[in-house]
Structure 1
Amino acid sequence: MGSEMIRRSFLAALAFAAALPVAAWAEAPLKVVATTGMIADAARQIGGDQVEVKGLMGPGVDPHAYRQTRSDIVAMTRADLILWHGLYLEAQMENFFHDLGRKRPVVAVAEGVDKSKLRAHDDYADKYDPHVWMSPAVWRDVVVEVQKALTDARPEAADAFAANTQAFLAEIDQLEAYGKQVLAEVPENNRVLVTAHDAFGYFGEEYGYEVLGIQGISTQSEAGLNRIGELVDTLVDQQLTAVFVESSVSDRSMRALIEGAAAKGHDVGIGGELYSDAMGEPGTYEGTYIGMLDHNISVIAGALGADVPERGMNGKLSAGS
């Protein structure tokens, strides 16, 4: 009798399993850890339900100064794939990633960008400006590198990854076209972008804007009084009326710039807050790569004199952006 009960239980379990949807039997999602929000978003867009992505650096976090925490180390040692930016962005973590790469698949996705597209670093002769996400045209290369890394980690999902990548690249192309349209409406003498640090160089090259940062490419560089004085003179001489703060950098130096211009009788205001090294809040449109750049493009163009669509490219920007 006992064996008969076991047999019936076994058959019942088989029947229950057969009734489950195929997805219940699917392979567990690939565990991916990404350093920046921009890379994490690319992994989610491409990976879809095949991946479970953890981003290490949230809103307002400065990747130039970030160091891995104990919980970060645990997450990365348990991950199937670690995606980091490279190009000396995560300067405080480089040695850790090189060591981890001997035990786990670790990919610096921005290192795959064609070197002819990269800007020289203003502090290090043998390195490049890492802020490649500011140019949709250059970021396409990073998206393709993310696709390659995911495909290498899970070859059986290659077709799904390829289809998702093409859809994401089409969105990036739409974003690039929107940027070219609205930023071209800014009067030429206003096409000067003054920010806290030099994170917008690729943006300036793509859209034809002069970019002036108080700090250099890294937020770890010093913003000297001489540099602030030079920028005050530029604001006054060119009669520029707007500067921009950044979500991941203190606005202290920007306030000093505004006060310096005021002391010379020139009124300068904050044109808006831009996302430079980190995206917006998770779960929001600005917490995606497309939303982050849509916000930046719309805020810059609107503050400098263009007629910008209400709530951005496709009406998704948060009210007040």
Structure 2
Amino acid sequence: MDQLKVKKGPLQRLKMTLSVLALIIVAACSKVEGGMIHALRGEEQEIIQVVATTGMIADLVQQIGGTEVQVTALMRPGVDPHLFKASQGDIQKLDKANMVFYGGLHLEGKMTEILEKLGRHKYTVPVSKDIDQALLRSGADINGTQFDPHIWFDVKLWISAAGTVRDTLAAYDPNHAELYRQNAEAYIEELNALDAEIKDKINEIPESGRVLVTAHDAFGYFGDAYGMKVMGLQGISTAAEYGSKDVSNLRDYLVENKIKAVFVESSVPPKAMEAVIAGAKEKGHAVIIGGELYSDSLGEPGSGADTYITMVRHNVNTIVEALK
């Protein structure tokens, strides 16, 4: 049976011609990597427009990109990336950006699929992509999370993320590759100093008191890297539910081990931890809130925790002062 052929009108032919021309233009100013087309920075482009999902990633890109980038953080301070839902305005920001950096490892929850699709036609890079999976903590496959995404709490892993940002910027903008290399080298030197500083500070806490209890299990990498036992009421994602049994189990641990302080988080409501404290009090053990930690978000501008380094330093100082 012959197929029915439909004759194309002038408008249809014009649309087809324009589509082909568009593809030719894109191909002329792009390169193909792994089957995907990536636009390169043009000589006349004054500055690279970058969107980063979280404040930590935005700060990382700004440190390495310097004067050649303008970075917008999609999520404001205090926003939980596990639960974040992109608005139409957010989608427009992503679409207009030259480059997009995100955490990966399912940090962005439901946004992950959007980000992966975006990577088919522009530089969209998870900063965790070059970390050896053997160094990643298991996510126990909770809510689709194979690995724990909170890599920034081990400064050495964040150094790996810095290398990924450096290499991605250099590939997109080879004319300034040496600048990105120099910026990254200087910043990595600061990060190595921070790593040593954390180890010295944690040593001020008696070994028996090095127990960090928080609202959700965001500090696992921190505990592994700096020698602390870490317990969270919720799992690695705040999307994970917790129940009365979780509250009572944590309460009993605090009482039995005479833990004197727990910590709330800037991006997680304190109600759950307050219930744990109240339960311990009923059993005759006083527990205080040792302070507020920044887990999935930087602090507001001027908070003293509005860059990655100052955020980490704030957390460490808060932990040490409460537990030493």
Question: Given the alignment of the two structures, is residue 213 of structure 1 paired with residue 229 of structure 2, yes or no?
Answer: no
C-alpha contact 2:106 2:145 (8 A) present in aligned 1? no
2:192 to 173, 180, 205: 173
Cα distance in 2 for partners of 1:97, 1:182 equals: 38
Quick one: percent identity of the two aligned structures? 45
1:104 to 117, 122, 132: 122
Displacement after TM superposition at 1:74 (Å):
1.1
Question: Given the alignment of the two structures, is residue 120 of structure 1 paired with residue 142 of structure 2, yes or no?
Answer: no
2:182 to 163, 170, 189: 163
Q: State the SS of the aligned residue for 1:122.
A: strand
Displacement after TM superposition at 1:281 (Å):
1.0
More displaced 10-residue stretch of structure 1: 173-182 or 101-110: 101-110
1:134 to 148, 153, 174: 153
Deviations along 1:38-83, whole A, 9 cap, x unmatched? 1100110000000000000111100001111111111111111011
Structure 1: which 5+ runs fail to align?
1-24, 306-321
Query: Hey, what does 1:17 align to over in structure 2?
Result: none
C-alpha contact 2:51 2:94 (8 A) present in aligned 1? yes
C-alpha contact 1:122 1:216 (8 A) present in aligned 2? no
Query: Hey, what does 1:246 align to over in structure 2?
Result: 265
Cα distance in 2 for partners of 1:284, 1:265 equals: 36
More displaced 10-residue stretch of structure 1: 190-199 or 226-235: 226-235
Q: TM-score, normalization: structure 1? A: 0.85
Question: Given the alignment of the two structures, is residue 65 of structure 1 paired with residue 83 of structure 2, yes or no?
Answer: yes
C-alpha contact 1:194 1:243 (8 A) present in aligned 2? yes
Q: 1:73 to 1:126 in 2, by over 3 A?
A: closer
Displacement after TM superposition at 1:96 (Å):
0.8
Cα distance in 2 for partners of 1:50, 1:283 equals: 24
Query: Hey, what does 2:215 align to over in structure 1?
Result: 196
Query: Hey, what does 1:274 align to over in structure 2?
Result: 293
Q: State the SS of the aligned residue for 2:60.
A: helix
More displaced 10-residue stretch of structure 1: 210-219 or 114-123: 114-123
Q: Which amino acid letter does the alignment assign opposite residue 108 of structure 2?
A: E
Query: Hey, what does 1:41 align to over in structure 2?
Result: 59
Matches within 5 A, 1:307-318: none
Taking only aligned residues, the RMSD between alpha carbons, in angstroms, comes to 1.4
Q: Which amino acid letter does the alignment assign opposite residue 235 of structure 1?
A: L
Q: State the SS of the aligned residue for 2:181.
A: helix
Query: Hey, what does 1:265 align to over in structure 2?
Result: 284
Structure 2: which 5+ runs fail to align?
1-42
Question: Given the alignment of the two structures, is residue 183 of structure 1 paired with residue 220 of structure 2, yes or no?
Answer: no
More displaced 10-residue stretch of structure 1: 66-75 or 128-137: 66-75
Q: Which amino acid letter does the alignment assign opposite residue 87 of structure 1?
A: L
More displaced 10-residue stretch of structure 1: 197-206 or 151-160: 151-160
Displacement after TM superposition at 1:123 (Å):
3.7
C-alpha contact 1:83 1:106 (8 A) present in aligned 2? yes
Query: Hey, what does 1:74 align to over in structure 2?
Result: 92
C-alpha contact 1:198 1:212 (8 A) present in aligned 2? yes
Cα distance in 2 for partners of 1:123, 1:239 equals: 32
Displacement after TM superposition at 1:26 (Å):
7.7
Question: Given the alignment of the two structures, is residue 295 of structure 1 paired with residue 314 of structure 2, yes or no?
Answer: yes
1:90 to 108, 121, 139: 108
Cα distance in 2 for partners of 1:284, 1:254 equals: 23
Q: 1:59 to 1:126 in 2, by over 3 A?
A: closer
Q: State the SS of the aligned residue for 1:148.
A: helix
More displaced 10-residue stretch of structure 1: 226-235 or 278-287: 278-287
C-alpha contact 2:141 2:147 (8 A) present in aligned 1? no
Cα distance in 2 for partners of 1:222, 1:99 equals: 29
C-alpha contact 1:196 1:245 (8 A) present in aligned 2? yes
1:149 to 159, 168, 173: 168
Displacement after TM superposition at 1:98 (Å):
1.9
Q: 1:164 to 1:283 in 2, by over 3 A?
A: farther
- Paired residues in the alignment total 281
Q: State the SS of the aligned residue for 1:111.
A: coil
Q: 1:280 to 1:126 in 2, by over 3 A?
A: closer
Deviations along 1:119-162, whole A, 9 cap, x unmatched? 00034487100000011011111111111111111111100000
Q: Which amino acid letter does the alignment assign opposite residue 297 of structure 1?
A: V
Cα distance in 2 for partners of 1:263, 1:285 equals: 36
Q: Which amino acid letter does the alignment assign opposite residue 61 of structure 2?
A: A
Q: Which amino acid letter does the alignment assign opposite residue 77 of structure 1?
A: D
